[in-house]
A = this chain, B = another copy of it.
């Protein structure tokens, strides 16, 4: 697979859920994410287990946010997904007794660990509320180009 898009997709889904009245079904979200409802359920399951969203069965059921967007950081989502592998490059374990391999892995491992730490810190500082406000800004910028009678519905 090219790369793991679960984090990106869940951020996308949660912001849409915030703008909806009522629960969002897996099928509705799957349409937004251009994927399959089962993939939505499978991915959302971790978020539910961490108390970020709730799911309801039956008529009128679906997925709802369990917290305001400002109370959810991108790091919360990453962790709820099980902290998937961040890097596509990794250390080798070809010859664990070799001191050269050990020296290489230590340096490269330190560099990767530092990059990981910096990235997770940054994900912890951004909330879904921030993303939603960026979306609002984009929407306003877009509407500014429309004829006046469409600017305020």
B-contact bits for A69-102, CB 8 A (1 contact / 0 none): 0000010000000001111111110110011111
Residues of B within 8 A of A15 (CB): 100, 103-104
Q: Which residue from chain B places its CB closest to the CB of A125 in the assembled complex? A: B111
Of the listed stretches A48-56, A60-68, A113-121, chain B binds A113-121
Q: Pick the residue among B11, B99, B130 that contacts A138 (CB under 8 A).
A: B99
Residues of B within 8 A of A102 (CB): 135, 138
Q: How many residues of A contact B (CB 8 A)?
A: 56
Q: Which residue from chain B places its CB closest to the CB of A95 in the assembled complex? A: B34
- A residues contacting B by CB (< 8 A) are 2-9, 11-12, 15-16, 32-35, 74, 84-92, 94-95, 98-108, 111-112, 114-115, 118-119, 122-123, 126, 130-132, 134-135, 138-139, 142
Given A84-B88, A87-B87, 4 additional A-B pairs, CB 8 A:
A8-B101, A86-B87, A87-B88, A103-B138
